[in-house]
Structures are given as C-alpha cells and as structure tokens.
Structure 1
C-alpha cells in the first residue's frame, strides 16, 4: 500500500457550510503547531475531532445515531446532522426525505440505492464515515486491503487496489472532494505498478467519477500493454475501448513499420465463435468450426469461455475434445490461468480433470495458485462457512489448486514450461537455503529453535550458501539410483521444511527476520561476502556495512528478547515451544 494517506500526514478538513455562505476550510497538520492564537484553534479542533470520533467508536455500547445505512447487509448507525454538514449529497438526501422522517422514527437507507453503479464495501464505508466525523483518515484494514499471498508486498495487488477504488468512488458520489483528490493520487501510483488486468477497476472508477487525469493514465497503460482487444471490448466502456484502440494503433505504427495486417475474414470467424459462446450455443460453435478453417485453439475459444461464459458452457466445450487445455494465448496465459483470474471452482476442477497443469507459470512468473492468492482477501479466505452454507469459493479454489500441485508437483509431460518450472524451484530452493544458512550464521540460537520447531533437521542436510551454488544444490543433478518421484518428494520435503523454518522465525523472532530480509535483498551478492576483495575504497565500504549489520543484529536480538519476555513466557507454561524459547532467554 502507498503511504500517502497515513494519519501522520497533513490533512485538509473541508466542509460545505450549509448555514453560512461559502465553505469553511481548516488545515490540520500534525507536523507542527503554529504560534499564537492559531495553536489554540488547532487544539480545539483536535479535541472536537476526538470527541466526534467517540460517536463512531462507542456506537456498539451506547448508540446515539438517528438513522441507518445498510452496507453489504450490515446496518451502520449514522448521525444525519454530521453527514449533512460534511456532504452536500447527504444534505440533499436527508432534505428530500424530511417528510418521511417525521413519520418514521429511524429511517433506513441502502447503499445499493445510493450508488449509480457498482458497490462500496462495508469496511471502506466505515473508513469513509470515520473521516466525515473526525477529519482523520484511518489506516486501511489489512484483512480487506491485502491479499493472502505471503510473497506479495501488497503495493499493487488487487485487494489493495479495490479498497482504494471503493474509497474514491464513495468520496466522489458522496461529494467529499478532498478525499477524491487523495485517493486519485493513490490510484495514479497504482497504475504503473499493477498488472494490466488490475488496472481495469481503476479505469472504471476514473470513468464513472469523471477523473480525466486518472482515466487518461489508465487508457495509455492499457494501450501499451498486451491485453487483447476482445478483453478490452468486454470489460471497459465502449468509448474508452475505442480510445485505447486508437492510441494502441499509434504506438504500433511508431514502433513497428512492418506490421502485418489482420485478416478480416479470420477475425470475423473468430468473433462469430465467441458470439455463439455468449449465447450458450455450443452446437452453433461446432457448426461454425465445420464452415471455416478456424479451430477452437485458433480462436482461443476455451480461454474465452472460461473468462466469460457459464460453467456449463465450459464443460460442453471441454467435452468436445477439440481444445488444448494447456494452450497459451497471446499473453502467455494458459486456460487455467484465466480460470484462476475468475476464481470459479466449477471451472477449475473440470480443467484439472482434463489435464490442465497447475504449475504452469505466466510470463511474469505466477502460477494458478499465486494468481488466486493475489486476488483473495484474508477476510474472504478465513471466512467460516456454517454447516449447510455454500463453501467459500476463494478458499476452495486455492485449496483445490494446492492439492493438485501436491499430488502432481512436476508434470511428466515434456512441455516447453518444464524447464522453467525446474528453474523456479531451483531459485526458490537456493533462496531458502541461503536465508536459513545466514540465519544460522547471524542468529544461531534463534535459527536452531526455528529449525527444531519445523523439524528441519529430519530432512536432508542443507548445504547453505556456498554449497547451494555448487553442484550439491543443483536440481538437475542426476542420481541414477533415485527415481523421479523420489527426487520430487525429496526436493519438496526439503523446501517445505525450509519454508516452515522461515515462517517460524518470522513468527517468534520478527525483528531478527526483518534484518535477514533486508540483508537478503540489499547485501546478498557474491562480492559482498568477501571483505578483502575489491579496491581499498570498496573494502572500506564493505567493512562499514559489516559493522552496521552487526549493530542491526544486536538491536534485533535485543528487541525480540524483550518482546518474548513481554508476552509472558512464565515458568508455568508447559508448551515444548515455550520451553525452548525460555532457554533462549537465559
């Protein structure tokens, strides 16, 4: 997530005055307090803000609200006087319903009725509501603004984008211009960082909120991308799609003087197949295939059905037996990658049954599981399903794909992606071995405890940094006495133990783990390991960095030791893990 909206930043508290003429603006800055009478005014405003916040915080115990707004089937109590004074939208809404309010003791409004399109989530509305009351913007709740992929830093994953999109939409519809400006800047930062398919929600909110600058940036980003024209036509407004096509054509003419013109008859045949799929008419698809030389694979018909059609249609197309389930489209995405983007179990399962390979990676290195995880919020993944209710689709998709990978970790099919999969496993194993090796070097006691908890010593010995870069760490090394299945099991068991070691370290020794993360990111390259190599100036810089690292290690160890004491590792604890932790503290 971006940091432009942290509470410590200077915020503008602007409200449309409905009592006097014009608008009243107060600048509240936590950075400095001016001298003289202004400081008293700021202190007074800060106290007022804190007092109004109690109306939101204390609503669960003592509710002084006089109306309800229903968001995602949850009633949120609001105070009409505050909303009306801060938002022209709510002022007009409550004014229009004045007669009905006199008859009804507690009016109720529904979010879906107030929005011209789309939706705003419950948590996003609470953040927005808190700002109306206090003039302060709270941090985004991680359970709805991050994804469940442990490798993601959440600076541009889909949940982070969607949460900001919700807040900008609410700010625009409910007419709070200072918030619109803040979230527009945040979304501008997302546009270049995000995957192109994740730019589409930003483009849509910019279009509906008439944010010209943001829309223009999204249009150019999509135009420069490899997103296919069919997806653009299906997912963005007609006039925006035309703008993207025009700009894309200019890019192509500028960058390539030898463009091959598209065959209009071929394009027409492909679009007729897609239209037949839109109509759920697979029989018509079969007829169109017989009338032209276009195949299902040439039309990427299975990709299209998985992305936009009913699961029953997908099953019918699969049953034709005429499509390659591991075919890649022009973006390098397999059918399963597209299914992961949609997160529909009733589509993913039939694809796996037909032989779709779960470990196939996209050109940017994601497989089907990581795609699903980058789209899934912790709130949805961890949601409990009551007996008799439908299973949580987000978690079900991830679980199904992870089971498939465990069942068939490396496909026996000699596909073009098999080498890349081995390379990915090799690089991940090298990273984990290096990290654990340096943990044992910098934090020997903590690393030993983490490895004990993870039962890491029961797997094959880790060669560590130097050995892992040699032949002993090479996944392609051939042992004639070892079967491929046994080799896969050994590698995966080794990786699982290493991952658990790292996760255990993060849980019990977060400060030490943070030092290791920074070291692995900034300092781990071959020359940095040798203090006596390089010029005199380089050696001096390395030694200085080494001393800084020693200081970081000492501080991290001290912090984690203090934290373990604070959480109450008393002598009465009987947990084996806590006993091992207490031994470290002595």
Structure 2
C-alpha cells in the first residue's frame, strides 16, 4: 500500500497529494511524507492555503524549501504579505467592519483582489461572511488566483451549497474552467462518491449536501446553456412555475399556521433573498426562479425534518381539490368545501401539536432522570379539541 502511494504521489493532481501527505504525517510514514513535502514545495499551491490546512511543522518544512529555491524576497513583497495576512485574519474573526477599516487605511492599503479575499472566504469562512464580502462589491467574483481557480472553483472543493448560491447570485460563471479544463461541477463531482450522491437520507437526517451542491451547479449550468441557445422552452418554464406554485403555497401555509417555526426554517434556507428585478432578462428571470425553488424546497425539507407528522398532513392538505375555490359551485358544494377545509386544517393542527409534544418529550428525556423519563413517556401528547 505504501509503495502504491509512493508511485502515485508524482502523478496525482497536486490537491490529491494533500490528503496523502496528511495520512503520511499522522501514521509516521517518513519516506512518503518526505516525497509529498517535496512535491508540494515545488507546486503552485499558495502558502496561505498550505498554512491553513497543514500541521505547522509540515508547513514550516515546505516554507523552508521554497525559501531555499527562491531569491531573497523584496521588502515590498514581505510588506504586501503582512497586509494580506491582516485581511485574512479579519475574515477569520468574522469582522467585516475591521476589514473595511483595513481597506481604507492609506498606509497599509491592499485590495480584496490582491489578497484573494473572496477566494479565502469561499474556502474557509462562514457563508454569512462570504455574503458580506460580496455585498461590498469590491471583489471580482470571477477572478482567477495564482492557480487559475475562481472563487466558485474554490467553493466547489469545499462543497458548501450556500456559498455556491451566494457566488452564483453575484455573477459567478459556472462554465468557467481551471487551467486544466475543469468546471466547478467537475470539481464537485470528482470529490463526491457515487454512493454518497445517490444515498437517500432517512427522515430526520440532514440533507445530502453532496447532491445539493451538484444540483445547484447543474441547475445554473442548464440555465446558462438555455441563454446561449435562446428562450427556455414553454414546457420547462411551465413545469418550473407549477413546482414554484406548490412550494410557495406550502411555505405560505406553514407561515400562517405556525409562523415561529416557519421563520426559523426560512432563515436556515435563506428563502427571502431572491429579489425581483423588473428589468431582468427572461433567462435571468428563469435562473432566479430556479434559485427561489431551491430555497423553498430546502425550507419545506427543514420543516419535514422537525415536524414529520405535520408535513404528511400538509402534503394531503395541498393536493386536496375540495379545499379550492370556495366561491364556485352550488351553495351546498361551497358548504361542503368549507367543511372539508376546516377538517383538514384541524388534522394539520393536531399533527403539529403531536410533533411539538414528541420534541418536548425527546428534549426532556435527554436531560432528566430515568424515573422522570418514564413518567414523560407514559403521558399522552396534547390534542386540540375538534370544533
């Protein structure tokens, strides 16, 4: 196995050498570690990335090898490096106000692009910070770093879907390629095992992030291709609007019936970020609707995870045709529709209270004594009385 790893170190993509290096370090495989360090030292991986991802002693050796092979750094280069480190430290601290101050200091001025700040945030920072950096409108969202990677390529390696969406919303080009011809989708797919992508999560488990990231990028790629070909087909647009209507209704009902829980789910999904631009092109409009559909879907899935019984009742509620168009039909038909609507609404509320009672019991049992747990387990959840 060790010999096999030694053979592939010289041929693998440089980013694939990093996990081999880490394994060699942790398992004291000195020859393999030495080969990896030598390969990385000669590579175009930047020092910022290496210092962030490698153990200090390993990074120190790589840094020393690089200094030996390079001429003495100019004082101006060292000064620029210090300025860039200050930018990155501000990002690490989630301190955008400090970042603004650093950008405005005349004696230490450095631009976000010079610091590859958006690349850094996309790789290592909280998604909220990525959005705040983007909102400054001071960074080129499609800038290539020293290796030719854009922030979207970096985010694809991280596989954080909210960062991908933030970059795409600000104009990141999904079809942009690295110097070796890879798109963000290629990078994301290469880092995702087929069994992980196709794995069906059980109810209550977190969403499949691998699949979600790939779906976000592929949706954007399809809309970009549609823009190159022409106007999206009526069938695709109609299907998109049908799905949007369903999820808009689902989230609206959730906000009406249990607003506090729906608000939390929407904040998790960032579902209120899709702004309408009356001057946008038809293709841009379609792209925005795709992103809106994605956030609404995630909102619904969050609700399904925390309120499973309620979600099942809401499924029935939304597809029951008898609850629609109260004003149509005879007086008797309208009366029956209203009665059926009230019955479904009552069933939905009962399911909601059952879910809350179950969550309360689960929460209590995890922090109480065994006797208290037994008592709670035997008590029935509160059920609202039917009117």
TM-score by length of 1: 0.37
**Does 2:58 match 1:240?**
yes
| 1:258-306, Cα deviation, whole Å (9 max, x unpaired) | 9766522221111001001111111110011001321111111010011
**Does 2:54 match 1:216?**
no
2:78 counterpart residue number: 264
Is contact 1:224-1:251 (8 Å) kept?
no
Residues 1:411 and 1:358: Cα distance change in structure 2 (over 3 Å)? farther
2:162 counterpart residue number: 346
1:387 deviation in Å? 4.1
**Does 2:208 match 1:392?**
yes
Q: How far, CA to CA, are the matches of 1:357 and 1:304 in structure 2?
A: 18
2:44 counterpart residue number: 226
CA RMSD, Structure 1 to Structure 2 (Å): 2.0
**Does 2:17 match 1:203?**
no
1:193 deviation in Å? 2.0
| 1:136-172, Cα deviation, whole Å (9 max, x unpaired) | xxxxxxxxxxxxxxxxxxxxxxxxxxxxxxxxxxxxx
Q: For 1:307-346, list aligned pairs within 5 A.
A: 307-346=123-162
1:236 deviation in Å? 1.0
Q: How far, CA to CA, are the matches of 1:411 and 1:231 in structure 2?
A: 35
Q: SS at the partner of 1:263? A: helix
Aligned residues: 227
Q: For 1:21-36, list aligned pairs within 5 A.
A: none
Q: For 1:493-508, list aligned pairs within 5 A.
A: none
1:249 deviation in Å? 2.6
1:194 deviation in Å? 1.7
Q: For 1:478-557, list aligned pairs within 5 A.
A: none
Is contact 1:307-1:338 (8 Å) kept?
yes
| Greater radius of gyration (CA) | 1
1:361 counterpart residue number: 177
Q: How far, CA to CA, are the matches of 1:380 and 1:366 in structure 2?
A: 21
Q: How far, CA to CA, are the matches of 1:304 and 1:203 in structure 2?
A: 22
**Does 2:103 match 1:285?**
no
2:187 counterpart residue number: 371
1:249 counterpart residue number: 67
Structure 1 gap segments, 5+ residues each? 1-182, 413-484, 486-586
Is contact 2:199-2:208 (8 Å) kept?
yes
**Does 2:221 match 1:408?**
no
Structure 2 gap segments, 5+ residues each? 229-282, 284-387
Q: SS at the partner of 2:62? A: helix
Q: For 1:93-242, list aligned pairs within 5 A.
A: 183-242=1-60
Q: SS at the partner of 2:9? A: helix
- Greater share of helix: 2
- Greater share of strand: 1
